[in-house]
Chain A
Amino acid sequence: MKKLSARRRHPLAALVVLLFALAVTGGLYAAFSPSEAKADDSSAQSLAIEEGKKLYAVGCATCHGTGGQGTSDGPSLVGVGSAAVDFQVGTGRMPAQQPGAQVPKKKKIYSDAEIEQLAAYIASLGAGPVTPTKSQYSPDGADVAKGGELFRTNCAQCHNFGGKGGALTNGKYAPALDGVSPKHLYEAMQTGPQNMPSFPDTVMPEKNKQDIIAYLDTVNSDKSKSPGGLELGGLGPVSEGLFGWIFGMGAMIVLTIWVAARTAKAKKS
């Protein structure tokens, strides 16, 4: 200390002090600035949650309760995760139009930004499946054949072999999967909307879900090929035969009656 004190009047002392002060200030700034950025981030998140809470209070709280705890009219949303919100609101199922056996898909009411805010709020209520990213649900490079196998094991019982849907009990039904986006397919498998069971990653890994999406993309999209055309939902030869009998033969009978009813006589009576 004595050494330092002795040199305090050195001509370069002022310069050293200045450099030292600059270094400390800069260091302090460097130490504090990232944490400030982090604070900004979390405030954006909490803003989204705040906005989502407002939207929730207006649009959802009537059935799902003011804190998402659920009422007799709607299930609890604690722990359903942002993926469930993105599916239900993104496909227009929620907000529901009326109570009933099943809430159908309809035109979506909230904008994508609003859905994100709602999802942020619901996700803040309890941990649950997170909205998947494109790399998770994109069917590019997935195994279509394996997807078909998985679809027949896990999904075909309700949604049918070609994803055309089918009836369940008491007015419930498995919807047709035509034109459902890969993201919503992924979210449905992950969260199990309404009466559909969920297929979480622990029993059906991400890769399997991509395979299933790739299979549906191949057999059940606008661009999927059908060798015979007009496949009547791919329900099999019994339904096709029944259709042939009723409508094909029916049309032939109508044609026969029409031919016989028109007289060939010169004098029409």
Chain B
Amino acid sequence: MSSHEISEAEEKLPEARGAESAVRPVDDPFADPGLPPHEHRKQDIDERAAKRSERTVALLFTVSMVATIAFIAAYVAIPVDRYIYVFPIGHISALNFALGVTLGIALFTIGAGAVHWARTLMSDEEIADERHPIEASPEVKSKVLEEFHTGAKESGFGRRKLARNTLFGALALVPLSGIVLLRDLGPLPGTKLRHTKWARGKRLMNYNTMQPLRPEDISVGSLTFAMPEGMSEDQHDFQTEIAKAALMLVRLQPENIKDKRELDWSHEGIVAFSKICTHVGCPINLYEQQTHHVLCPCHQSTFDLSDGGRVIFGPAGHALPQLRIRANDQGYLEAMGDFPEPVGPAYWERG
């Protein structure tokens, strides 16, 4: 760095700084530099500027008042079912749009007015406030401790051991009543997590049409959802039961099925798998027909339907349960029993 550049940089420093740095290292490097000299705002010096600021603040607050009145007017005047086209947003409810815009303006201008007021008109004199210790004086401390010890001695807490220990026992037992009340949350699940509505001889009903499915309905590359025969959406436990019994059907070329049990349990390459992910029970049916993978949308567990529903990616712990199916003598697909294992997420007594 040349001497010319140094002198140029020093020129830009405030005048006071050079004088200070000459003195400081000598006596106290950590000396309190104090507050910089107070600089005035335009509004502090010029009364007309202050008036202008006041008018600006008042204008912002007035705009807020007008927007609030517009909000009420919009609420009263605009019918709930009117739609308008607003360029980047699209077809939007006129009422929602008007309410949002007016309330937004009303709130924003209050904030903007307050900020402008504080920055230009309220006092901005810097004030130093010294810190002080927050502990009590030694006299107060010793008096409080002395009173505590006297109280403890008078209560006999240390001497009457029987009373003290039974108090501990009572306090320890009281929370148990709350724990017992948790039993009211419902009956124990029993074995209902292990069974679904599928049973031997139940036909597979198409979820779209509620008609029984035939093998020839299902082509290679298609995806079909099925429910057990005898279920309908107006049954009171429909949602509980379909959450376990939901089934997806795909057809593979039999020579593409790698798992022997899967092939045995299929019908002419039609395989039926539970639709419930074995991780946390999300409905899993993002089926890729070329790779035969299904993907769970929740945590990306991926199962290979051509290999016994094996987990090939993600957090799921075990393969998707397969339902054994066949065609009955009338040519309809039917289940040959329930799922061999509980469907859905793992739980501690699974199996």
Which of A154, A194, A198, A266 has most chain B Cβ within 10 Å? A266
Residues of A within 8 A of B115 (CB): 259
Residues of B within 8 A of A205 (CB): 208-209
Interface hit among B138-146, B149-157, B220-228:
B220-228
Interface hit among B55-63, B71-79, B210-218:
B210-218
| Contact between A264 and B89, CB atoms less than 8 A apart | no
Interface string of B69-103 (1 = CB under 8 A from A): 00000000000000100101111110011000000
Q: How far is the CA of A229 from the CA of B89 in the complex (A)?
A: 6
Closest to B88 in A: A230
B322 within 8 A of A: no
Once A198-B222, A266-B39 are accepted as A-B contacts, the answer to whether A203 and B289 lie under 8 Å apart by CB is no
Contact of B45 among A172, A204, A266 (CB under 8 A): A266
Closest to B249 in A: A203
A153 within 8 A of B: yes
Residues of B within 8 A of A238 (CB): none
CB distance from A165 to the nearest CB of B (A): 12
Which residues of chain A (142-174) have a CB below 8 Å from chain B? Answer: 150, 153-154, 157-158, 166, 168-169, 172, 174
| Contact between B213 and A203, CB atoms less than 8 A apart | yes
B332 within 8 A of A: no
| Contact between A203 and B217, CB atoms less than 8 A apart | yes
Contact of A230 among B41, B89, B93 (CB under 8 A): B89
Closest to B285 in A: A157
Interface hit among B23-31, B165-173, B291-299:
B291-299
| Contact between B222 and A264, CB atoms less than 8 A apart | no
Q: How far is the CA of A154 from the CA of B248 in the complex (A)?
A: 10
Once A227-B93, A228-B93, A264-B119 are accepted as A-B contacts, the answer to whether A197 and B221 lie under 8 Å apart by CB is yes
| Contact between B216 and A202, CB atoms less than 8 A apart | yes
Residues of A within 8 A of B341 (CB): none
Once A259-B115, A264-B124 are accepted as A-B contacts, the answer to whether A169 and B45 lie under 8 Å apart by CB is no
A196 within 8 A of B: yes
B256 within 8 A of A: no
Residues of A within 8 A of B290 (CB): 194-195
| Contact between A203 and B222, CB atoms less than 8 A apart | yes
| Contact between A208 and B209, CB atoms less than 8 A apart | yes
Majority-rule SS of B interface residues? mixed
CB distance from B345 to the nearest CB of A (A): 18
CB distance from A224 to the nearest CB of B (A): 7
Q: How far is the CA of A198 from the CA of B217 in the complex (A)?
A: 12
| Contact between A168 and B208, CB atoms less than 8 A apart | no
A200 within 8 A of B: yes
Contact of B92 among A150, A154, A227 (CB under 8 A): A227
Closest to B97 in A: A229
| Interface size grouping (class) on chain B | 35 or more
Q: How far is the CA of A194 from the CA of B221 in the complex (A)?
A: 10
Contact of A264 among B41, B45, B97, B213 (CB under 8 A): B41
Once A208-B208, A227-B93, A264-B41 are accepted as A-B contacts, the answer to whether A199 and B286 lie under 8 Å apart by CB is no
CB distance from A199 to the nearest CB of B (A): 6
Residues of A within 8 A of B90 (CB): 226, 229
Contact of A169 among B44, B119, B222, B288 (CB under 8 A): B288
| Contact between A200 and B219, CB atoms less than 8 A apart | yes
Q: How far is the CA of A84 from the CA of B271 in the complex (A)?
A: 25
B120 within 8 A of A: yes
CB distance from B115 to the nearest CB of A (A): 6
Contact of B91 among A196, A198, A208, A223 (CB under 8 A): A223
Q: How far is the CA of A200 from the CA of B209 in the complex (A)?
A: 13
A65 within 8 A of B: no
A70 within 8 A of B: no
Contact of A192 among B44, B216, B222, B224 (CB under 8 A): B222
Once A168-B295, A198-B219, A203-B218 are accepted as A-B contacts, the answer to whether A154 and B208 lie under 8 Å apart by CB is yes
Residues of B within 8 A of A150 (CB): 208
Residues of A within 8 A of B289 (CB): 192, 195-198
Closest to A209 in B: B208
Q: How far is the CA of A226 from the CA of B225 in the complex (A)?
A: 30
Residues of A within 8 A of B288 (CB): 168-169, 172, 195
Residues of B within 8 A of A226 (CB): 89-92
26 contacts between A and B (CB under 8 A): A153-B208, A154-B208, A154-B223, A157-B297, A169-B293, A195-B289, A195-B291, A196-B289, A198-B219, A200-B217, A200-B222, A202-B219, A203-B222, A224-B91, A225-B91, A225-B93, A226-B89, A226-B90, A226-B91, A227-B92, A227-B93, A229-B93, A264-B41, A264-B120, A266-B44, A266-B45
